[in-house]
Amino acid sequence: MSNSYRVAILGATGAVGAELIELLESRNFPVGELKLLASPRSAGTSLTFRGETLAVEAVSETSFDQVDIVLASAGGSTSKVWASKIVAAGAVMIDNSSAFRMNPDVPLVVPEVNPQALNHHQGIIANPNCTTILMTVAVWPLYQVQPIRRIVVATYQSASGAGAMAMEEMKQQALAILQGETPKTDIFPYPLAFNLFPHNTPINEFGYCEEEMKMIHETRKIFGVNDLRISPTCVRVPVLRAHSEAINLEFDQPLSVEKARDILSTAPGVELVDDSKANYFPMPIDASGRDPVLVGRIRQDLSHPCGLELWLCGDQIRKGAALNAVQIAELLVEKQLLGLRR
């Protein structure tokens, strides 16, 4: 990655935007010029990159001129507004929203799982949902050794999944409750502090919420297995940062706990945390601010000879969002997949 590239971050003032800036610097991405873009109300804010203070600009029709990569994390509606203009300007858009994930012409990429999908991009690349990213990083290495028939997963999703304002709201709710006051709920529909509730995205006719359906459809697309059976239950929990997932896997044939541990101990993007003697397994507090998906509590499913159970924790803002996007950008540079349409 010897050349330098012109990079724009759309949604620079949000929680993921801040993490994108930090990752571009800490991973030494070859940024020649960095543009920080946001809504007009956030314009004028100052942020730091490589010791230089940069002003956040209001996104406009000319924001993407001469830009090579746009890291978008400003929500689906914003991505839809600007996507065609980004592509028309000759840039590649790596989008963190759900706007284009299920578009058959848009690669949905987890670099540890399906990097080859980038070869066919047409200017837009989608970042999967956070829970999908974490699950696929842990499950894919096992799937490659032994085909999986069914995945049953329960997620324990932190406040960070709803953004910086949601994280702050949970802090304020905790303070209010401890002081005997009624907690305010502006971001979440119910108090999250000292509480939990099923994910509050819309429920379909089958009783599954939108967040759960994302895990089903996105995992099938990433794995390239349209009939993979997946049953998710998504829950919001009073954790500030980092999601957790309890996963039950049903394989075609038995896969031993020892073999699964061996596979995951060297799997890219995974850190094995599986100390049964000390009863020490992945925790959100250990995953927060870190890149790997922590995996442990690997055990035989006592109800099924071909079943395994595992538990994981991963930082939703890093691997679940910003890190995955930066890794995609790194692959685009490595594979020389930028600037092909100029």
| Residue positions annotated with a catalytic role | 130, 243
Cβ burial 98-116 (10 Å sphere, 16+ → b, else e): bbbbeeeebbbbbbbbbbe
What secondary structure letter does DSSP report for 280? B
Binding-site annotation: residue ranges for phosphate: 101
Q: Which helix (H) or strand (E) holds 141?
A: helix 130-145
Strand, helix or coil at 255?
Answer: coil
Binding-site annotation: residue ranges for NADP(+): 13-16, 41-42, 160-161, 183, 316
Contact indicator for 290, 313 with CB cutoff of 8 Å: no
Strand, helix or coil at 56?
Answer: coil
Binding-site annotation: residue ranges for substrate: 157, 210, 236
Of the chain, the end-to-end C-alpha distance in Å amounts to 20
What residues contact 185, with CB distance under 8 A and at least 6 apart? 169, 173, 191
Beta bridge partners of 52: 49
Tell me the angle at which helices 15-26 and 323-334 cross, rounded to the nearest 10 degrees.
40
Contact indicator for 320, 215 with CB cutoff of 8 Å: no
Helix and strand numbers, DSSP H then E, in the chain: 8, 15
Query: Based on C-alpha coordinates, what's the Rg of the chain?
Result: 20
CA nearest 34: which of 45, 47, 43?
47
- Compute the Cα dihedral for 10, 21, 130, 266 and give only its sign: positive
Binding-site annotation: residue ranges: 13-16, 41-42, 101, 157, 160-161, 183, 210, 236, 316
Strand, helix or coil at 77?
Answer: helix
Strands 270-272 and 293-300: what pairing?
A: parallel
CA nearest 324: which of 133, 164, 163?
133
